[in-house]
């Protein structure tokens, strides 16, 4: 049993923390809204009043945060994670944030004689619950080897990709493809539907065709019935596409389909659907096509 910490208990973070607890580890948690952690506390987790307290009581502390701003909020200052680190401790940051933010954070962590990994995930709450989540990990390889058993308690696959920030780069490269695929799926579906094929039939055909990636297979049915709780909402996906577009500008990589998909997400937000799963791009495109 290890003493682990977890900061950020949203849709993904809470389920990750629960898998660590179920694996037999002691888990101390912090979340901005304590009530959202109550079911985890009832299951046997410990509560800390600050991110610093989580880091101070843990050998390895994980965080799963929404964006760069939220990451700074839980890492900086007297109550932040970094202030609670000391020699021998490891900090594993699993959010999708900019590579530059990860590298700067890693420098601050190493100044405390601790080690850090960036370990964003590929998958969703659905793949997490199915035990199919995968990690891409950046940092020192020897640190990666130390935390690998904990990562595998959450998901079976963890791939070391290189130094600090490279896992963040890989995650951004992965996520832009999810949004582009969903838009392409929506375009094909609407073309079939408006030609006279029932939407349910077209969805069935597409989900059994060669274009059906794992993401399309579980998110495609959302065009028939959106989930009550977004797995990954429009704002979160657009945040990732904007990170991708900035990387493309810096690295001179043209990203034409990413740019178009980003505009479609803006359209979806303008239609008042920002809090829906990003599969709701289908609905925005359908309205534009005159389809109910």
- Of 219, 199, 222, nearest to 292 (Cα)? 199
- Of 206, 107, 90, nearest to 165 (Cα)? 107
Distance between CA 6 and CA 17 in Å, rounded? 6
Distance between CA 34 and CA 88 in Å, rounded? 29
CATH of the domain at 129: 3.40.50.720
Domain boundary (130, 163, 196) is at 163
CATH of the domain at 205: 1.10.1040.10
Per-residue pLDDT of the chain (292 residues), as tens digits, is 899 999 999 989 999 999 999 999 999 999 999 999 999 999 999 999 999 999 999 999 999 998 999 999 999 999 999 999 999 999 999 999 999 999 999 999 999 999 999 999 998 888 898 888 999 999 999 999 999 999 999 999 999 999 999 999 999 999 999 999 999 999 999 999 999 999 999 999 999 999 999 999 999 999 999 999 898 999 999 999 999 999 999 999 999 999 999 999 999 999 999 999 999 999 999 999 999 8
Distance between CA 117 and CA 135 in Å, rounded? 11
Verify that 62 and 189 share a domain, yes or no. Answer: no
Domain boundary (118, 142, 163) is at 163
Domain boundary (108, 129, 163) is at 163
Q: Output the pLDDT for position 237.
A: 97
Q: Output the pLDDT for position 142.
A: 98
- Catalytic residue positions, numbered: 171
Verify that 191 and 159 share a domain, yes or no. Answer: no
Verify that 197 and 146 share a domain, yes or no. Answer: no
Distance between CA 79 and CA 169 in Å, rounded? 28
How many domains does the chain fold into? 2
Asked if residue 279 lies in contact with residue 226, where contact means CB atoms within 8 angstroms, the answer is yes
Q: Output the pLDDT for position 125.
A: 87
Verify that 94 and 198 share a domain, yes or no. Answer: no
Verify that 147 and 213 share a domain, yes or no. Answer: no
Residue 66 burial (C-beta neighbours within 10 Å; 0-12, 13-18, 19+): middle
DSSP codes of every residue in 35-70:
GGGHHHHHHTPEE-SSHHHHHHT-SEEEE--SSHHH
Verify that 188 and 268 share a domain, yes or no. Answer: yes
- For the question of whether the overall pTM of this predicted structure is more than 0.85, the answer is yes
Residue-range definition of the domain harbouring residue 258:
169-288
Which residues does 292 contact at the CB level (< 8 Å), separation at least 6?
Answer: 286
């Amino acid at each position: 049993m290890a003493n682990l910490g977890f900061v950020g208990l949203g849709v993904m973070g809470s389920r990750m923390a629960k898998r660590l607890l179920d694996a037999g580890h002691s888990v101390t948690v912090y979340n901005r809204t304590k009530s959202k952690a109550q079911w985890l506390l009832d299951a046997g987790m410990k509560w800390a009043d600050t991110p610093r307290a989580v880091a101070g009581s843990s050998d390895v502390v994980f965080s799963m945060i929404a964006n760069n701003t939220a990451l700074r909020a839980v890492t900086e200052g007297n109550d932040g994670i970094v202030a609670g680190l000391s020699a021998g401790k490891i900090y594993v940051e699993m959010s999708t944030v900019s590579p530059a933010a990860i590298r700067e954070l890693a420098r601050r962590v190493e100044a405390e004689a601790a080690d850090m990994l960036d370990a964003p995930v590929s998958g969703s709450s659905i793949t997490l619950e199915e035990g199919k989540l995968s990690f891409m990990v950046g940092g020192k390889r020897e640190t990666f080897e130390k935390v690998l058993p904990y990562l595998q308690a959450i998901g079976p696959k963890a791939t070391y990709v290189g130094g600090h920030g490279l896992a963040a780069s890989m995650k951004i490269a992965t996520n832009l493809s999810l949004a582009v695929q969903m838009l392409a799926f929506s375009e094909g579906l609407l073309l079939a539907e408006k030609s006279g094929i029932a939407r349910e039939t077209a969805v069935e055909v597409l989900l059994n065709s060669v274009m059906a990636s794992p993401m399309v297979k579980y998110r495609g049915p959302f065009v028939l019935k959106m989930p009550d709780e977004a797995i990954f909402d429009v704002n979160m996906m657009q945040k990732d596409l904007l990170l991708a577009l900035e990387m493309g500008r810096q690295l001179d990589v043209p990203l034409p389909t990413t740019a178009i998909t980003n505009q479609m997400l803006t359209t979806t937000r303008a239609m008042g659907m920002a809090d829906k799963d990003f599969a709701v791009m289908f609905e925005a495109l359908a309205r534009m096509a005159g389809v109910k």
